[in-house]
């Protein structure tokens, strides 16, 4: 198996780099040829990722709803309040203690991996997030499956990239494809998966981000439809919007923007509250689940994802009273904060949609109490509120717009959705730096602005740009013996290794050139006496740190190690050449 894997990696690398020989003169033609082959490989990988994500999305969705149905049919009355506590406690113990995964909101981990390196998305996350969300949401935890499924898709892409021995840039692209396939599969919405990945996860609009992402989203959606059927998440029929209703969407957008700010800040407050309650993570989750169970006993609709309540809000024949809707929004707001703040495994995607639908419905009901003409039906504002809440919480207006259109087939709602989402985004951005996914990353300095030099450099991986076509020499090698080695050299530097094959210095041609023409020194000078003691670069450290070492040492090439093992040399020439290529790629 290992032999087959190595053979595949060699053939893949040969296929991708064919035509990059320095003797070629037509640089543009070579670049286009390599780019076309690269696109073929990435689209094939995206197809595989999309199919697997579709299977996982269907499996997670079905298993959670099966568990939820089983608990509901038990009809245990007040004793059912303990199920969310039990599920959250098991989930956190399983994820944190047994699988050693620091489960967050899910999407934040993927965004951090895109900025800082895909290695943080471990293979075990595919299992920990699946079972963690299964127990949390299936038992009644007031959160959604979309965050965990995005983590699963991202971890799948990262794992495939490592298995194929791809460079860091390709692995990050596979992470984005996995996120798109996950969202498309769980929502039965391929366009939403595409937009979510491009807008929230990758933040780039190039042929290598768009085309394979389409493949991943479509394949995941079609497989999901093949297994579960082409189901519409929320059934609705909305008539046209008047000018009055369109203007009201600005106010609704501002309202959902404010509520999204309160929602994001409430998560931090609940995290601080439960951190003071106990040092044991599973106890925090159990206590939070107990609080959620109590709220669910008062109003069962706030448990789990809450999509059943949203469907009621969008149905004309069954319309709740205004007081019920407002109470639902308040309790769902609290229940979600308690679930996630106590450490439950889930995401904010579903709560944003559900809370937004309640806010929008209540807004529409209040408008109908005012002496206004031409006001659209209440359910129309419920849809607009969903888009506004998603845009405000995630800072992804396009994701909010296309998600609501696809899950409701409400394409006639494009104008009100655009107005609501854009105004919600403006209000949320005015008061908050970053979305609910990126606020902690910004505070930690782990979020890098896309398009900057620092972001481009983070696409480079030291292991991918090592120089290995050099000659190593011994520390006690005499100058006479070095002359023979020098005749075979292709580089102007020679790493000096000790008996343990550890790099103890580097001999540069400029340093030894004055001695080469004095034959009286041939049997006196050893390489240890002319070598430079240079700082070493660790394989796992960021490129920015390596650049600092280049600057401080004034050297053009530095040794790279992993632990005590010498791996090769990193030169400024190679680094800047790959940086130039990355600029070309980002510009296409």
Task: Write the pLDDT tens digit of every residue in 189-212.
Answer: 889 999 999 888 887 777 788 889
DSSP, residue by residue, 372-389? -SSPPPHHHHHHHHHHHH
Q: What percent of the chain has pLDDT over 90?
A: 19
pLDDT exceeds cutoff 80 at 279: no
Rounded CA separation 65/568 (Å): 53
Dihedral in degrees, nearest 10, Cα atoms 98, 101, 103, 107: -140
Q: For the chain, what are the domain ranges?
A: 2-228, 243-447, 455-587
pLDDT at residue 79, as a whole number = 83
Q: Could you tell me which residue, 352 or 308, shows the higher pLDDT?
A: 352
DSSP three-state, residue 570: strand
Residue that is written with structure tokens 């020194």 in the block: 521
The two three-digit tokens of residue 436, written as one number:
């609910």
328-342, 433-447, 451-465: segment of lowest average pLDDT: 451-465
Residues in the chain: 588
Beta strands 537-538 and 557-562, pairing class: parallel
Q: Could you tell me which residue, 30 or 477, shows the higher pLDDT?
A: 477
pLDDT at residue 220, as a whole number = 92
Most confident of 436-445, 494-503, 540-549: 494-503
pLDDT at residue 424, as a whole number = 93
217-231, 278-292, 456-470: segment of lowest average pLDDT: 456-470
CB 94, CB 132: distance < 8 Å:
yes
Residue that is written with structure tokens 């944190």 in the block: 96
Neighbours of 325 (CB within 10 A): 25
Rounded CA separation 312/397 (Å): 25
Measured in degrees and rounded to the nearest 5, phi and psi for residue 103 equal -65, 125
Look up residue 105 and give its DSSP letter: S
pLDDT exceeds cutoff 90 at 216: yes
Task: Return the bridge partners of 570, or none.
Answer: 558
Mean pLDDT of all residues in 537-545? 76
**pLDDT tens figures, 224-234:** 888 877 665 66
CA atoms within 13 A on the CB side of 53: 44
Return the CATH number of the domain spanning residue range 455-587: 3.10.580.10
Neighbours of 229 (CB within 10 A): 8
Task: Return the bridge partners of 467, or none.
Answer: 569
| Domains 2-228 and 243-447 in one fold | yes
Q: Could you tell me which residue, 484 or 211, shows the higher pLDDT?
A: 211
pLDDT exceeds cutoff 90 at 260: yes
Look up residue 300 and give its DSSP letter: G
Give the pTM: 0.78
Alpha helices in 75-206 (DSSP H): 82-92, 107-116, 125-138, 146-163, 168-187, 190-196
Rounded CA separation 491/459 (Å): 26
Tell me what the pLDDT averaged over the chain comes to.
81
Model confidence band, residue 236 (pLDDT cutoffs 50, 70, 90): low
pLDDT exceeds cutoff 50 at 31: no
In CATH, what class is 2-228?
mainly alpha
CB 116, CB 446: distance < 8 Å:
yes
pLDDT at residue 213, as a whole number = 92
| 54 Cβ contact partners less than 8 Å away, ≥ 6 residues apart | 181, 184, 185, 219, 220, 221, 222, 223, 224, 227
Mean pLDDT of all residues in 157-176? 85
Rounded CA separation 494/509 (Å): 8
Run of H or E including 29 = helix 27-74
Closest CA relative to residue 494, chosen from 503, 263, 323: 503
pLDDT at residue 234, as a whole number = 63
pLDDT at residue 26, as a whole number = 47
Task: List the strands of the sheet with 537-538, edge to edge.
Answer: 537-538, 557-562, 565-571
Query: What does each C-alpha distance from 583 to 13, 131, 439, 576, 586 come to in angstroms?
Result: 21, 40, 28, 10, 5
Greatest alpha-carbon pair distance for the chain in Å reads 106
DSSP, residue by residue, 45-61? HHHHHHHHHHHHHHHHH
CB 197, CB 111: distance < 8 Å:
no
Query: What does each C-alpha distance from 555 to 98, 418, 475, 506, 508 come to in angstroms?
Result: 46, 54, 20, 10, 10
pLDDT at residue 95, as a whole number = 84
Model confidence band, residue 219 (pLDDT cutoffs 50, 70, 90): very high
Model confidence band, residue 379 (pLDDT cutoffs 50, 70, 90): confident
CB 390, CB 421: distance < 8 Å:
yes
Alpha helices in 188-316 (DSSP H): 190-196, 207-228, 243-277, 281-298, 307-313
Model confidence band, residue 582 (pLDDT cutoffs 50, 70, 90): low
In terms of Cβ atoms closer than 10 Å to its own Cβ (0-12, 13-18, 19+), residue 134 is buried
Look up residue 520 and give its DSSP letter: G
pLDDT at residue 445, as a whole number = 65
Name the E strands within 290-367. Answer: none
96-110, 300-314, 551-565: segment of lowest average pLDDT: 96-110
CB 351, CB 146: distance < 8 Å:
no
Mean pLDDT of all residues in 340-351? 86
In terms of Cβ atoms closer than 10 Å to its own Cβ (0-12, 13-18, 19+), residue 179 is buried
Q: Could you tell me which residue, 444 or 259, shows the higher pLDDT?
A: 259
CATH superfamily of 243-447: Clc chloride channel (1.10.3080.10)
Q: What percent of the chain has pLDDT over 70?
A: 86
pLDDT exceeds cutoff 90 at 346: no
């Amino acid at each position: 198996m290992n032999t087959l894997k190595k053979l595949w990696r060699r053939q893949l690398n040969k296929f991708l780099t064919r035509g990059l020989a320095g003797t070629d003169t037509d640089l543009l033609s070579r670049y286009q040829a390599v780019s076309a082959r690269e696109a073929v490989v990435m689209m094939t990988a995206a197809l595989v990722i999309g199919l697997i994500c579709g299977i996982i999305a269907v499996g997670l969705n079905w298993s959670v709803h099966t568990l939820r149905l089983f608990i509901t049919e038990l009809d245990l009355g007040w004793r059912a309040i303990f199920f969310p506590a039990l599920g959250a406690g098991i989930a956190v113990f399983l994820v944190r203690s047994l699988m050693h995964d620091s489960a967050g909101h899910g999407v934040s981990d993927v965004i951090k991996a895109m900025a800082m390196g895909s290695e943080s998305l471990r293979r075990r996350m595919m299992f920990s997030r699946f079972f963690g969300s299964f127990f949390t949401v299936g038992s009644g935890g007031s959160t959604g499956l979309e965050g965990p499924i995005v983590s699963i898709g991202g971890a799948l892409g990262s794992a495939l990239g490592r298995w194929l021995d791809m460079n860091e840039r390709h692995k990050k692209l596979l992470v984005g494809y996995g996120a798109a396939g996950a969202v498309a599969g769980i929502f039965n919405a391929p366009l939403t998966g595409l937009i979510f990945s491009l807008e929230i996860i990758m933040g780039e609009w190039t042929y290598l981000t768009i085309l394979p992402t389409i493949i991943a989203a479509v394949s995941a959606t079609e497989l999901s439809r093949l297994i579960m059927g082409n189901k519409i998440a929320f059934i609705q029929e909305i008539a046209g919007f008047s000018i009055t209703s369109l203007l009201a969407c600005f106010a609704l957008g501002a309202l959902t923007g404010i509520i999204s700010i309160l929602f994001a800040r409430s998560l931090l407050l609940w995290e601080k509250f439960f951190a003071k309650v106990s040092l044991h993570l599973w106890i925090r989750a159990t206590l939070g689940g107990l609080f959620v169970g109590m709220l669910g006993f008062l109003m069962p609709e706030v448990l789990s994802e809450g999509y059943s309540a949203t469907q009621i809000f969008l149905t004309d024949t069954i319309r709740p009273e205004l007081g019920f809707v407002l109470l639902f929004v308040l309790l769902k707001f609290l229940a979600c904060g308690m679930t996630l703040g106590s450490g439950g495994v889930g995401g904010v995607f579903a709560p944003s949609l559900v809370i937004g639908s309640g806010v929008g419905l209540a807004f529409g009901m209040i408008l109908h109490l005012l002496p206004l003409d031409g006001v659209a039906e209440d359910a129309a504002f419920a849809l607009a509120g969903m888009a506004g809440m998603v845009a405000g919480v995630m800072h992804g207006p396009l994701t909010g717009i296309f998600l609501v259109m696809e899950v409701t087939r409400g394409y006639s709602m494009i104008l009100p959705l655009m107005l609501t989402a854009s105004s919600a985004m403006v209000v949320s951005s005015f008061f908050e730096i970053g979305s609910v996914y990126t606020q902690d990353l910004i505070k930690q300095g782990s979020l890098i602005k896309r398009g900057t030099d620092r972001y481009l450099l983070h696409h480079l991986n030291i292991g991918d740009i090592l120089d290995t076509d050099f000659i190593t020499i011994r520390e006690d090698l005499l100058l006479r013996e070095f002359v023979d080695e020098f005749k075979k050299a292709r580089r102007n530097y020679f790493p000096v290794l000790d008996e343990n094959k550890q790099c103890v210095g580097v001999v540069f041609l400029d340093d030894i050139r004055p001695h080469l023409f004095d034959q009286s020194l041939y049997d006196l000078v050893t390489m240890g006496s002319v070598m430079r003691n240079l700082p070493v670069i660790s394989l796992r450290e960021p490129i920015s740190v390596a650049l600092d070492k280049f600057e401080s040492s004034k050297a053009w090439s530095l040794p790279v190690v992993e632990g005590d093992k010498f791996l090769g040399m990193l030169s400024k020439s190679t680094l800047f050449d790959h940086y130039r290529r990355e600029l070309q790629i980002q510009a296409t």
